[in-house]
Structure 1
Amino acid sequence: MDLALDEAESVEGIEKTAGPGACGPRERARSLWSDAWHQLRRNPVFIVSAALILFLVLIAIWPQLIASGDPLQCDLSKSQQGSAPGHPFGYDTQGCDVYTRTVHGARASITVGVCATLGAALLGSALGGLAGFFGGWGDSLLSRVADIFFGIPVVLGGLVFLSVVTSTTVWPVVGFIVLLGWPQIARIARGSVITAKQNDYVQAARALGAGNARMLLRHVAPNAVAPVIVVATIALGTYIALEATLSFLGVGLRPPTVSWGIDISNAASQIRNAPHMLLWPAGALSITVLAFIMLGDAVRDALDPKLR
């Protein structure tokens, strides 16, 4: 039986690698992932966005590399002053260094985006993948539950859910985003699994007696994960923007946490007197969100041969 299953898996490999351009048995076509990596390395959008994201992650982990000051150390005598030697972005209303707070604000925003994306992707992939593979009443139940969550306005839900939370950490915001973000991933994973399980190599493995776990983990999941990766990459930037929106409204991250959304909220009322207070954190937020969206677009183009 194991020999027959191994033969079925070899059929899967041939079906995925062989193509109309194959000239002989010695020519081995690239797999989906190696071909995608080959395309990404030649895409300037991917190179620029990946380099920018790598830099943002680096300063989120070690902000002292480029900002040695304390973001919570303020001097009211310098309130709303413009740029000065050693303080290129000026000061905010409380006399805090805007440059230092902008650099340190990357940690909270990127932590929320990465953790929320991982949580939503894992939960949504597991539920959607199982529902799409087994079908039946579980599939119908998941669809109805997902429809309920799709009907909840994100900002309104955040105002209701997070207004009763008193924690100043990032985890309530992460939990809320995961709660409303998993249905989108689940729907993508469900459709991708339904498509993958209809392939010939999956049917051959089933006919040869492969169990559900073996088929799901070795045949279906590796060929259904690409759309989930694309959606999750694009959603990461959206989640960062959502955290900033909730923090701007006063229900997301709260002081003493340093966040771009908090700084934008504090600067909104002083935009005429001190526009620099709003310009730098808003610019950092926009660049970060744009970088992740560009990365998602590049990954989508690489993983979908029809878009090349």
Structure 2
Amino acid sequence: MSWSTSSQPFSTPGSAMTEPSTINIAARPDRATTYGLWGTLRRRLQFWISIALLVILALIAAFPGLIAGLFGEKDPRSCDLSASNSEPVPGHPFGTDVQGCDVLANVLFGTRTSLFIGIAATAICLIIAVIVGTLAGYLGGWVDSLIARMADVFLGFPFLLGAIIVLNTAPSRTPLLMASVLAFFSWPTFARLIRGSVRGVREREYVQAAFAIGVSHLRLVLTHVLPNSLAPTLAIAATAVGGVIGAEATLTFLGVGLVEPSISWGLQLSTAQAHFQAAPHTVVFPSLFLTITVISLIMLGDALRDGLDPRGRL
């Protein structure tokens, strides 16, 4: 990663900066950007389809037992070995797995775990990236250089290999640990985006004017810089949630992710892989939910990206 650095966060008042009296400090683009983004998104069918699918998934994650009970079995751990790998029948619309557990109940409860890991990992990643990227972009100089070298170290280390090493040494692999590990190896990409946005926003006239009239650095960052720097990360964040869910499923499928008694799509796929020919439904339904979730998040990310692109508003 090559980050150009500057030693001062702002040019000195009275140099090339416009006089504060000629600048409308209140004319910030954040509100206009928000209205323009919403005006673009609401006209896109792709946005509404992704939102509808994600709302359904969110309801499933919030009330998995209630929804599973509508179709028969509401307890994913209620198993009958005599019904091992049974095909879909009334009462078990997705069939049963090798242990005789209801596949539908496990898929629905796995939605909660997978969404939690995806959202939690992205949130942790964003918190780290906002702090680190803002410091690098706002302060510049040696702080920017130091953070750039830290990011180089993480970017130079293979993502999956690093996650496998850490997870293999963990005494217990919980959903929160999975989210933390995935976020730990993902923050540099977000930090680079935020750092670049902050560097661009800090040079704008309304930020320079606010600094010239004595607004503190902390207030300047919180009220002017960050609100106008985070928009480009929205599209990446939505897509990242889907990427994290896929990464968790991959790691669990490889045997280094979640373990029982956790319930997730990756764990279901890992258990069912040896029985695919005899009971393909045990693989198809978790894979279907995983695919729909990831595609919905990618569609949302694409819609946000197009909405944030001025050319996408034409």
Q: TM-score, normalised by structure 1?
A: 0.90
Instruction: Determine if contact 2:201/2:225 at 8 Å carries over to the other structure.
Output: yes
The reply on whether 1:193 has 2:193 as its aligned counterpart is: no
- Tell me which amino acid in the other structure corresponds to 1:72: R
Question: In structure 2, how many angstroms separate the alpha carbons of the residues matched to 1:230 and 1:196?
Answer: 19
- Tell me which amino acid in the other structure corresponds to 1:277: T
The reply on whether 1:44 has 2:45 as its aligned counterpart is: yes
Percent of pairs with identical residues: 43
Q: 2:139 is matched with which residue?
A: 134
Question: In structure 2, how many angstroms separate the alpha carbons of the residues matched to 1:91 and 1:293?
Answer: 30
Question: In structure 1, how many angstroms separate the alpha carbons of the residues matched to 2:214 and 2:53?
Answer: 48
Partner of residue 14 from structure 1, selected from 27, 32, 44? 27
What is the DSSP-based 3-state SS (H/G/I as helix, E as strand, rest coil) of the residue aligned with 2:160?
helix
- Tell me which amino acid in the other structure corresponds to 1:152: F
Task: Provide closer, same or farther for how the CA distance between residues 95 and 172 of structure 1 changes in structure 2, counting only shifts above 3 A.
Answer: same
Instruction: Determine if contact 1:9/1:201 at 8 Å carries over to the other structure.
Output: no
Partner of residue 99 from structure 2, selected from 91, 94, 98? 94
Instruction: Determine if contact 1:9/1:205 at 8 Å carries over to the other structure.
Output: no
Partner of residue 254 from structure 2, selected from 244, 249, 252? 249
Instruction: Determine if contact 2:25/2:209 at 8 Å carries over to the other structure.
Output: no
The reply on whether 1:77 has 2:82 as its aligned counterpart is: yes
Task: Provide closer, same or farther for how the CA distance between residues 55 and 204 of structure 1 changes in structure 2, counting only shifts above 3 A.
Answer: same
Identify unmatched segments of 5+ residues in structure 1.
1-6, 18-29
Q: CA deviation at 1:8?
A: 7.2
Instruction: Determine if contact 1:169/1:253 at 8 Å carries over to the other structure.
Output: yes
Q: CA deviation at 1:208?
A: 2.4
Q: CA deviation at 1:206?
A: 2.2
Identify unmatched segments of 5+ residues in structure 2.
1-19
Partner of residue 266 from structure 1, selected from 252, 267, 271? 271
- Tell me which amino acid in the other structure corresponds to 1:76: L
- Tell me which amino acid in the other structure corresponds to 1:184: T
Instruction: Determine if contact 1:263/1:281 at 8 Å carries over to the other structure.
Output: yes
Question: In structure 1, how many angstroms separate the alpha carbons of the residues matched to 2:80 and 2:273?
Answer: 20
The reply on whether 1:284 has 2:289 as its aligned counterpart is: yes
RMSD of aligned C-alpha atoms?
Answer: 1.7
Task: Provide closer, same or farther for how the CA distance between residues 32 and 122 of structure 1 changes in structure 2, counting only shifts above 3 A.
Answer: same
- Tell me which amino acid in the other structure corresponds to 1:67: A
Instruction: Determine if contact 1:197/1:203 at 8 Å carries over to the other structure.
Output: yes
- Tell me which amino acid in the other structure corresponds to 2:64: P
The reply on whether 1:104 has 2:117 as its aligned counterpart is: no
Q: 1:20 is matched with which residue?
A: none
Task: Provide closer, same or farther for how the CA distance between residues 85 and 10 of structure 1 changes in structure 2, counting only shifts above 3 A.
Answer: farther
- Tell me which amino acid in the other structure corresponds to 1:14: A
Q: 2:61 is matched with which residue?
A: 60
Q: CA deviation at 1:163?
A: 0.8
Instruction: Determine if contact 1:233/1:293 at 8 Å carries over to the other structure.
Output: yes
| Per-residue CA distance 1:195-217 (angstroms, 9 max, x = gap) | 11111111222222322122212
Aligned length: 290
Question: In structure 2, how many angstroms separate the alpha carbons of the residues matched to 1:120 and 1:298?
Answer: 22
- Tell me which amino acid in the other structure corresponds to 2:41: L
Q: CA deviation at 1:9?
A: 11
Q: 1:202 is matched with which residue?
A: 207
Displaced runs of 4 or more, over 3 A: 7-10, 12-17
What is the DSSP-based 3-state SS (H/G/I as helix, E as strand, rest coil) of the residue aligned with 1:14?
coil
Task: Provide closer, same or farther for how the CA distance between residues 128 and 15 of structure 1 changes in structure 2, counting only shifts above 3 A.
Answer: closer
Instruction: Determine if contact 2:124/2:183 at 8 Å carries over to the other structure.
Output: yes
Question: In structure 1, how many angstroms separate the alpha carbons of the residues matched to 2:25 and 2:168?
Answer: 51
Question: In structure 1, how many angstroms separate the alpha carbons of the residues matched to 2:116 and 2:162?
Answer: 21
